[in-house]
């Protein structure tokens, strides 16, 4: 039976994900004309972990893939800025979707999960901004196992800890103003500020007003409702978070169903081969019996 996540596969099956064809992962950057490239990544591994990769790698391993060619190509290093070639097989992420270091961190975790005796969920980096960058990389590559784990980690910090201006700014810059985690962080920051628990409340409001007026207005609205003695309605936040989790779980289920279909087809093929072997063996035995008679 196929598992819903490659982390639950037996060690030998996880090791098998590191074999076979390889492709390059390309991250265009606005700060340089040369994209960041991670070459020679196992195609099976990306297919197993990444929904973004699986959406392009839609044919069986070893067959011609619909992946488009990309001008940058790998070098001999594990990751590099690459020169052009017409034969490069690659997956290209949206420009500036994450940092190169975060993408490398995510790829290292996927590889380690395939080779370690016991696969482990991804560990959040020690630095807040690094954690946000890796979460952004997991979202860009659509690696559900990492995305869910880091989402919960960041949400717990947002809920339980008054965010400094640096942390709030990092959250907005890494995820964007419309991200549910960012909206929740603003709501929580407004609440901590009203209770006198946010040391940089004035600085945070000033930065939002200058750089993110929409979020500054949201903060003011939360304060207005609180002053009027009404409970801030957080249902939209809870519903958004719940929908996000449901979306990830649904994609896991769909991915599992697709794997089960592939496994069933492979099992049918193997059974067919065994049947043919038995039939050929019987035919040989019949021919031998005829010669003896």
Per-residue pLDDT of the chain (293 residues; tens, 9 = 90+): 334 689 999 999 999 999 999 999 999 999 999 999 999 999 999 999 998 888 876 533 444 333 333 333 333 334 444 333 333 388 899 999 999 999 999 999 999 999 999 888 999 999 999 999 999 999 999 999 999 999 999 999 999 999 999 999 999 999 999 998 999 999 999 999 999 999 999 999 999 999 999 999 999 999 988 887 655 556 666 767 777 888 888 888 888 888 888 888 888 888 888 888 888 888 887 777 775 55
d(CA 21, CA 23): 7
Q: What is the 3-state secondary structure (H, E, C) of the chain?
A: CCCCCHHHCCHHHHHHCCCCCEEEEEECCCCCCCCEEEEEEEHHHHHHHEHHHHCCCCCCCCCCCCCCECCECCCCCCCEECCECCCCEEEECCCCCCCHHHHHHHHHHHHHHHHCCCCCCCCCCCCHHHHHHHHHHHHHHCEHHHHHHHHHHHHHHHHHCCCCHHHHHHHHHHHCCCCHHHHHHHHHHHHHHHCCCCCCHHHHHHHHHHHCHHHHHHHHHHHHHHHCCCCCCCHHHHHHHHHHHHHHHHHHHHHHHHHHHHHHHHHHHHHHHHHHHHHHHHHHHHHHHHHHC
Query: Could you tell me the two tokens for 276?
Result: 């043919």
Phi, psi of 89 (to 5 degrees): -105, 125
Q: How far is CA 63 from CA 58, 66, 151, 176, 236, in A?
A: 10, 10, 35, 39, 46
Q: What is the largest CA-CA distance in the chain?
A: 104
pLDDT of residue 29: 95
Query: Could you tell me the two tokens for 176?
Result: 């964007």
Burial of 178 (0-12, 13-18, 19+ CB in 10 A): exposed
pLDDT of residue 138: 96
Radius of gyration of the chain from Cα atoms? 25
Give the list of residues 6+ apart from residue 135 with CB closer than 8 angstroms, or none. Answer: 146, 147, 150, 151, 154, 174, 175
d(CA 194, CA 286): 91
Question: pLDDT digit string (tens) for 255-282?
Answer: 888 888 888 888 888 888 888 888 888 8
Q: How far is CA 292 from CA 87, 283, 285, 287, in A?
A: 59, 14, 11, 9
Please tell me whether the overall predicted TM-score, pTM, comes out greater than 0.95 for this model. Answer: no
pLDDT of residue 235: 61
Query: Could you tell me the two tokens for 21?
Result: 């064809």
């Amino acid at each position: 039976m196929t598992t819903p996540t490659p982390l639950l596969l037996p060690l030998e099956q996880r090791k098998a994900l590191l074999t076979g064809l390889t492709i390059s992962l390309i991250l265009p950057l606005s700060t340089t004309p040369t994209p960041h490239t991670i070459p020679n990544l196992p195609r099976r591994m990306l297919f197993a972990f990444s929904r973004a990769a699986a959406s392009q790698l839609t044919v069986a391993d070893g067959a011609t893939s619909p992946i488009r060619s990309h001008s940058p190509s790998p070098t001999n290093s594990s990751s590099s800025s690459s020169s052009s070639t017409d034969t490069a097989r690659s997956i290209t992420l949206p420009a500036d979707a994450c940092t190169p270091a975060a993408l490398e961190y995510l790829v290292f975790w996927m590889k380690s999960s395939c080779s370690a005796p016991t696969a482990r969920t991804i560990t959040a980096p020690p630095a807040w901004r690094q954690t946000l960058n890796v979460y952004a990389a997991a979202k860009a590559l659509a690696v559900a196992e990492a995305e869910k784990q880091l989402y919960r980690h960041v949400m717990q910090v947002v809920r339980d800890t008054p965010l400094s201006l640096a942390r709030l700014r990092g959250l907005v810059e890494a995820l964007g103003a419309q991200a549910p985690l960012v909206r929740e962080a603003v709501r929580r920051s407004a609440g901590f500020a009203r209770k006198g628990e946010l040391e940089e409340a004035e600085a945070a409001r000033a930065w939002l007003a200058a750089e993110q007026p929409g979020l500054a207005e949201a903060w003011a609205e939360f304060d207005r409702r609180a002053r009027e003695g009404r409970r801030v309605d957080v249902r939209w936040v809870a519903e958004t978070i719940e929908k996000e989790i449901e979306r990830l779980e649904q994609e896991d289920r769909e991915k599992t169903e697709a794997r089960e279909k592939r496994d069933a087809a492979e099992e049918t093929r193997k059974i067919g081969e065994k049947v043919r072997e038995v039939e050929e063996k019987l035919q040989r035995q019949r021919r031998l019996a005829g010669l003896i008679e």
